[in-house]
């Protein structure tokens, strides 16, 4: 989940000025730490090496669909790649040869395969609640020095997925790391989704999308409760 | 939703909670449980003072030990119970004012017969309502926003059942009349599972239904005298190995579903619990699998969320107010727990394992299967199903008229049997149709050509027909090349394919091949060397692809980026003087028709990528099908037109499509005549007949059923054998030499009569072998 790629693409706002603009009494929100993070990207060398890799992913995806509906989640990706740390920037030709990919890379690849399927697709960033035990495990397994992970904040984590738009502007949110669709229901406790943000190059600012009972405004974080 | 229940509709002595007596049957609590225990837990929450009596038909059903039952009414198993006496006792119970909630589908069906006018205290649906929810058609579903998965009865001919499986990509479930569903991924599996299910449920009346991929969800409801009292939606969140609910979440039923559901319940005059089992596919479409005439086994999961369906049913029937169930959560899950055994029902010993078998055979301990068998003898299970979504089937397969014309030209009684029969008119008709089809599909921009795969049946008459019909020939060895040339093909009309195509290369003829397709990257390198050294020549050089997610040993497996990259590099190295081609072959009869077309489109995408990444244009596409004749003939022109329309979208430079219809052409062109050697009778029925043919002449018997014609010895007329109970045993002294099962011989069949096994012109012929001939 470490988003070096994301941080490369950070909107380089002058954080101090933003911070100064936030009144001291404003309620702290679960997504504050990652508010300006952008979704991870898979980079392209601009050469045939990356083009072969990208074509291989998207053509394999169609083969793996087995004739099912184009809205079917590409769970095969998770069978091919284990979830784990990825170094960014990561290029297509590297990504397809990795044993492990993080949520950002898996989400970026899923987004690409939906796009090639001609399904309307967006990037999704979420904040989820886990536990101290889970955070400790991830901290230990993701870096040897036990440095705090930038995608972790106490028992909250930053996570990425992708979304597809089906009939009537309804969204389905694909968790590419888990291989399941996220449930648009408020929850608390282990694994609960607390905030979500939908973005995408093709998504006009202000567009409203429906996710279960929630109206999500494009490019805006939304707390789920 | 929850309806306000009017008080006092109930006539009986159960007017207050303290004296209320409720019988609950169906307490099996294994991994595929009945809902009795869940109903008892829910009713105990709502009516703490009520007397709950658990009814079971086996002391092996562990639910009898559940603490919420005040008493257990243990009956003898269904296999031996006196149904008349039992019915009288139940009537007395109901007349005394007690309520009865059944959790057993078969018992509910039996009640519908025992109490044709119902009973106010019997909280189960009536016969008319049950008829409307009968599987698989579920006629009551009209109005609901659901679809019914395609189905067909297994009472039709094996020929048609095989076609159904192919059409649905072998993603089918074989289902029992009341319970049980098993996957059948190929013909052998289907035959074996049908045999087991038919024997278990004492009926041939099973059905095949297509699989729907998606997420399972249910609606559980409670209704009394046509009034929907309450209902909830449950999504399965964890499953057992049998796909039964282990955990779920409960939510409201949306109004667009609720409105028609309320109307259906009214029309059915439904009383009791029910469950609508559904699958929601990726496109958000709901598919209704069945409506169970009882509460689901997870019903207490609903009570945990504050929606006590059994309680509202009792309240609706009696007017006695329930104690509202607290909302503990929106989700529920199961755990495994040990509970004390009631001392009055000590555990029975385990039955002895059958000799040589593994396990103790404890399925359906109350004898439900035997109960089904008893009920089958009544008239309530004799519904005929001969349609699949409006298409009518027959239990004897239809045979083309050309078969009969051809067969009439033989004097079979003068022939030595078993004899292979070449159906000349059928063969020439098939090749003619195939030629006409490619002419129709060809245009100025795109030529479509047939190729005959010699290995399918190397009979010279068929190869000659292919030559005369303008086909190319596909060969897999130099010996096949030689044979094709001997019959009149020129090298430039030959396609060389397969993993061992250079076998016997010492007899490689002079000349330039039409095309060579390489089965591996290594072979591509070798062939390039041969071409450069002048050891062979070809107009087109290509590769055979094995796309991901396909079980095959042939072609270049592009399922890893490493191999794909190697392929790209190898294709880029092919000198421009060789025109590039791609071959794709997959047996549609194995993978299914729909899946074949998906693989075809998938292959086009791969080809598109190869073109883009190599800069080499693909000029020829060679597609082989392993088609079943009916699948190719059925709308073949339309399907091919669609396919050809798709090709320019992905591969605008393709100038020629080579179609290899394979067994679609050859299979109907030959038949095997056999003579009946012996008829074996049992209880006035012919159960087995020995014939002088065998699996040596019909080696594909295990993969698909053959249509069988019987010739009337007196007048020479032909009859297609329909489904029956006779097995045709081959002459070989081999256990698996059974050439047909489930056929019906005519009453006047005699030793010496002729049977003709059709559809034996492809691999049955080319792979037949000499066995047991001394």
Q: Are B606 and A59 an interchain contact pair (Cβ–Cβ within 8 Å)?
A: yes
CA separation, residue B296 to residues B36, B104, B183, B366, B519 (Å): 9, 10, 23, 19, 54
Q: Mutate one of B169, B330, B548 to test the A interface: name it (highest A CB count within 10 A).
A: B548
Question: In angstroms, how far is CA B47 from the centroid of its own chain?
Answer: 45
CA separation, residue B688 to residues B131, B188, B417, B744 (Å): 37, 20, 19, 10
User: Containing domain of residue A200, as a range?
Assistant: 4-223
- Residues from B contacting A (CB-CB < 8 Å) are 169, 213, 249, 281-284, 547-550, 558-559, 561-562, 564-565, 568, 594-595, 597-599, 601-602, 605-606, 609, 612-613
CA separation, residue B51 to residues B19, B223, B245, B356, B745 (Å): 7, 22, 29, 47, 59
Q: What is the model's pLDDT at position A2?
A: 37
Q: Are A59 and B602 an interchain contact pair (Cβ–Cβ within 8 Å)?
A: yes
Strands B738-744 and B722-729: antiparallel
Q: What is the model's pLDDT at position B352?
A: 83
Q: What is the model's pLDDT at position B360?
A: 65
Q: Mutate one of A50, A51, A54, A55 to test the B interface: name it (highest B CB count within 10 A).
A: A55
Q: What is the model's pLDDT at position A25?
A: 58
Q: Which H helix or E strand runs over B765?
A: helix B763-766
Q: What is the model's pLDDT at position A5?
A: 39
Tokens of B654: 């393709």
Collapsing DSSP to helix, strand or coil, B375 comes out as helix
How far is the C-alpha of B311 from the C-alpha of B38, rounded, in Å?
A: 11
Question: Can you spell out the DSSP letters for B239-290?
Answer: E-TTS-EEEEEEEPPPHHHHHHHHHHHHHHT--EEEEEEEEE-TTS-EEEEE
Q: pLDDT-derived band of residue A206, with 50, 70 and 90 as boundaries?
A: confident
CA-nearest residue to B557 within chain A is A60
Cβ atoms of B572 and B616 within 8 Å: the answer is yes
Q: Are A63 and B213 an interchain contact pair (Cβ–Cβ within 8 Å)?
A: no
Q: Which residues of chain B have pLDDT under 50?
A: 6-14, 381-393
Q: What is the model's pLDDT at position A24?
A: 52
Number of domains, chain A: 1
All residues of chain A having their beta carbon less than 8 Å from the beta carbon of residue B595 are 66-67
Q: What is the model's pLDDT at position A19?
A: 40
Segment B487-508, tens digit of pLDDT: 999 999 999 999 999 999 899 8
Q: What is the model's pLDDT at position B321?
A: 95
Q: What is the model's pLDDT at position A11?
A: 35
Q: What is the model's pLDDT at position B381?
A: 47
How far is the C-alpha of B294 from the C-alpha of B274, rounded, in Å?
A: 4
Q: What is the model's pLDDT at position B645?
A: 84
Of B213, B559, B564, the CB nearest to A52: B564
Give A124's contacts (C-beta < 8 A, 6+ positions apart).
Answer: A39, A107, A160, A161, A162, A163, A173, A174, A196, A197, A198, A199
Q: What is the model's pLDDT at position B260?
A: 98
Q: Are B613 and A71 an interchain contact pair (Cβ–Cβ within 8 Å)?
A: no
Considering only CA atoms, which of A202, A198, A201 is closest in space to residue A222? Answer: A198
Q: What's the complex ipTM?
A: 0.88
Q: What is the mean pLDDT of residues A47-56?
A: 97
Give B178's contacts (C-beta < 8 A, 6+ positions apart).
Answer: B105, B106, B201, B372
Beta-bridge partner residues of B537: B512
CB distance from A71 to chain B under 8 Å?
A: yes
Tokens of B114: 């025992």
What is the Rg, in whole angstroms, of the alpha carbon atoms belonging to chain A?
A: 17
Q: Mutate one of B239, B562, B565, B601 to test the A interface: name it (highest A CB count within 10 A).
A: B565
Q: What is the mean pLDDT of residues A159-177?
A: 95
How far is the C-alpha of B45 from the C-alpha of B212, rounded, in Å?
A: 37
Q: How far is A144 from chain B (nearest CA, A)?
A: 30
Say if residue A188's pLDDT is above 60: yes
Segment A66-119, tens digit of pLDDT: 989 999 999 999 999 999 998 899 999 999 999 999 999 999 999 999 999 999
DSSP letter assigned to residue A170: B
Q: What is the model's pLDDT at position B202?
A: 77
Count Cβ neighbours within 10 Å for each residue of B694-711 and write b for 16 or more, e otherwise: bbbbbbbbeebbbbbbbb
Beta-bridge partner residues of B585: B624
Beta-bridge partner residues of B620: B581, B656
Q: What is the model's pLDDT at position B361?
A: 61
Collapsing DSSP to helix, strand or coil, A9 comes out as coil
Q: Are A66 and B549 an interchain contact pair (Cβ–Cβ within 8 Å)?
A: yes
Q: What is the model's pLDDT at position B378?
A: 62
How far is the C-alpha of A139 from the C-alpha of A152, rounded, in Å?
A: 9
CA-nearest residue to A73 within chain B is B282
Give A137's contacts (C-beta < 8 A, 6+ positions apart).
Answer: none
How far is the C-alpha of B668 from the C-alpha of B661, rounded, in Å?
A: 12
Cβ atoms of B455 and B483 within 8 Å: the answer is no
Domains and CATH numbers, chain B: 17-142+214-333 (3.30.470.20), 150-211+369-392 (no CATH), 401-421+668-766 (2.40.37.10), 422-666 (3.20.20.10)
Say if residue A43's pLDDT is above 90: yes
Of A64, A67, A97, the CB nearest to B548: A64
CB distance from A53 to chain B under 8 Å?
A: yes
How far is the C-alpha of A55 from the C-alpha of B605, rounded, in Å?
A: 9
Give A96's contacts (C-beta < 8 A, 6+ positions apart).
Answer: A53, A56, A57, B561
DSSP letter assigned to residue B227: E
Collapsing DSSP to helix, strand or coil, B304 comes out as helix
């Amino acid at each position: 989940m470490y988003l070096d790629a994301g941080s490369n693409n950070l909107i380089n706002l002058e954080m101090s000025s933003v911070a100064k603009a936030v009144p001291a009494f404003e309620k702290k929100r679960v997504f504050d730490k990652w508010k300006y993070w952008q979704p991870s990207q898979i980079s392209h060398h601009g050469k045939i090496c990356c083009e072969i890799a990208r074509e291989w992913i998207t053509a394999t995806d169609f083969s793996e669909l087995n004739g099912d509906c184009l809205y079917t989640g590409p769970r095969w990706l998770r069978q091919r790649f284990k979830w784990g740390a990825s170094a960014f920037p990561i290029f297509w030709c590297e990504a397809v040869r990795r044993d492990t990919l993080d949520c950002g890379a898996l989400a970026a690849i899923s987004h690409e395969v939906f796009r090639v399927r001609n399904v309307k697709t967006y990037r999704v960033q979420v904040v989820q609640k886990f536990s101290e035990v889970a955070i400790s495990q991830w901290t230990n397994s993701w870096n040897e020095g036990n440095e705090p992970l930038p995608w972790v904040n106490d028992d909250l984590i930053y996570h990425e997925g992708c979304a597809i738009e089906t009939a009537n502007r309804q969204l389905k949110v694909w968790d590419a790391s888990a291989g399941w669709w996220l449930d648009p229901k408020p929850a608390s406790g282990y694994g609960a989704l607390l905030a979500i943000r939908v973005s995408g190059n093709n998504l006009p600012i202000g567009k409203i999308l429906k996710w279960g009972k929630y109206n999500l405004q494009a490019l805006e974080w939304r707390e789920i409760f | 939703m929850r309806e306000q229940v009017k008080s006092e509709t109930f006539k009986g002595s159960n007017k207050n909670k303290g004296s209320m007596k409720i019988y609950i049957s169906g307490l099996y609590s294994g991994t595929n449980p009945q809902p009795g225990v869940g109903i008892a837990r829910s009713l105990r929450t709502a009516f703490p003072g009520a007397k709950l009596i658990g009814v079971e038909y086996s002391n092996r059903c562990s639910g009898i030990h559940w603490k919420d039952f005040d008493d257990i009414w243990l009956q003898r198993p269904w296999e031996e119970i006196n149904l008349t006496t039992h019915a009288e006792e139940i009537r007395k119970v109901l007349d005394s004012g007690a309520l009865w909630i059944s959790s057993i589908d078969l018992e509910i069906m039996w009640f519908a017969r025992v109490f044709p006018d119902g009973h106010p205290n019997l909280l189960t649906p009536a016969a008319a309502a049950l008829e409307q929810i009968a599987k698989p058609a579920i006629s009551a579903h009209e109005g609901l926003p659901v679809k019914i998965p395609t189905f067909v009865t297994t009472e039709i001919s094996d020929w048609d059942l095989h076609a159904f499986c192919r059409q649905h990509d072998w993603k089918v479930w074989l289902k029992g009349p009341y319970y049980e569903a098993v996957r059948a991924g190929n013909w052998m599996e289907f035959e074996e599972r049908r045999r087991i299910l038919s024997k278990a449920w004492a009926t041939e009346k099973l059905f095949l239904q297509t699989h729907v991929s998606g997420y399972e969800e249910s609606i559980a409801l409670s209704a009394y005298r046509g009034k929907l009292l309450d209902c909830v939606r449950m999504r399965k969140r964890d499953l057992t190995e049998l796909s039964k609910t282990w955990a779920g979440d409960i939510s409201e039923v949306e109004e667009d579903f609720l409105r028609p559901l309320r109307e259906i319940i009214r029309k059915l005059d439904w009383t009791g619990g029910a469950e609508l089992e559904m699958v929601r596919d990726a496109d958000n479409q709901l598919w209704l699998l069945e409506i169970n005439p009882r509460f689901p086994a997870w019903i207490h999961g609903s009570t945990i969320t504050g929606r006590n369906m059994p309680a509202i049913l009792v309240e609706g029937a009696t007017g006695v107010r329930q104690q509202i169930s607290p909302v503990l959560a929106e989700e529920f899950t199961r755990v495994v727990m040990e509970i004390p055994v009631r001392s009055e029902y000590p555990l029975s010993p385990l039955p002895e394992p059958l000799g040589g078998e593994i396990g103790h055979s404890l399925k359906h301990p109350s004898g439900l299967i035997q109960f089904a068998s008893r009920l089958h003898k009544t008239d309530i299970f004799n519904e005929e199903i001969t349609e699949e979504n409006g298409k009518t089937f027959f239990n004897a397969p239809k045979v083309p008229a050309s078969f009969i014309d051809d067969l009439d030209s033989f004097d079979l009684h003068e022939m030595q049997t078993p004899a292979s029969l070449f159906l000349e008119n059928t063969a020439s008709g098939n090749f003619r149709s195939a030629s006409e089809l490619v002419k129709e599909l060809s245009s100025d921009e795109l030529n479509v050509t047939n190729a005959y795969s010699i290995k399918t049946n190397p009979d010279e008459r068929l190869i000659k027909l292919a030559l005369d019909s303008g086909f190319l020939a596909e060969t897999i060895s130099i010996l096949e090349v030689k044979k094709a040339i001997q019959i009149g093909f020129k090298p430039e009309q030959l396609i060389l394919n397969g993993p061992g195509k250079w076998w016997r290369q010492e007899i490689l003829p002079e000349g330039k091949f039409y095309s060579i397709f390489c089965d591996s990257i290594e072979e591509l390198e070798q062939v390039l060397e041969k071409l450069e050294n002048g050891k062979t020549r070809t107009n087109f050089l290509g590769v055979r692809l094995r796309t991901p997610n396909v079980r095959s040993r042939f072609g270049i497996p592009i399922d890893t980026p490493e191999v794909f990259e190697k392929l790209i590099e190898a294709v880029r190295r092919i000198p421009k003087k060789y025109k590039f081609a791609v071959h794709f072959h997959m047996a549609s009869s194995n993978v299914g028709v729909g899946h074949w077309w998906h693989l075809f489109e998938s292959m086009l995408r791969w080809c598109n990528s190869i073109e883009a990444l190599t800069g080499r244009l693909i000029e020829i596409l060679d597609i082989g099908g392993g088609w079943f004749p009916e699948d190719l003939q059925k709308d073949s022109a339309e399907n091919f037109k669609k396919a050809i329309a798709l090709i320019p979208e992905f591969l605008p430079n393709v100038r020629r499509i080579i179609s290899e219809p394979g067994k679609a052409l050859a299979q109907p062109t030959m038949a095997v005549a056999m003579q009946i050697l012996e008829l074996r009778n049992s209880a006035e029925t012919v159960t087995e007949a020995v014939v002088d043919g065998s699996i040596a002449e019909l080696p594909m018997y295990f993969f698909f059923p053959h249509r069988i014609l019987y010739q009337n010895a007196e007048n020479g007329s032909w009859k297609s054998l329909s489904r029956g109970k006779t097995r045709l045993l081959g002459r070989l002294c081999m256990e698996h030499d059974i050439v047909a099962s489930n056929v019906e011989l005519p009453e006047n069949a005699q030793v010496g009569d002729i049977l003709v096994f059709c559809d034996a012109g492809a691999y049955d012929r080319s792979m037949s072998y000499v066995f047991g001939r001394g």
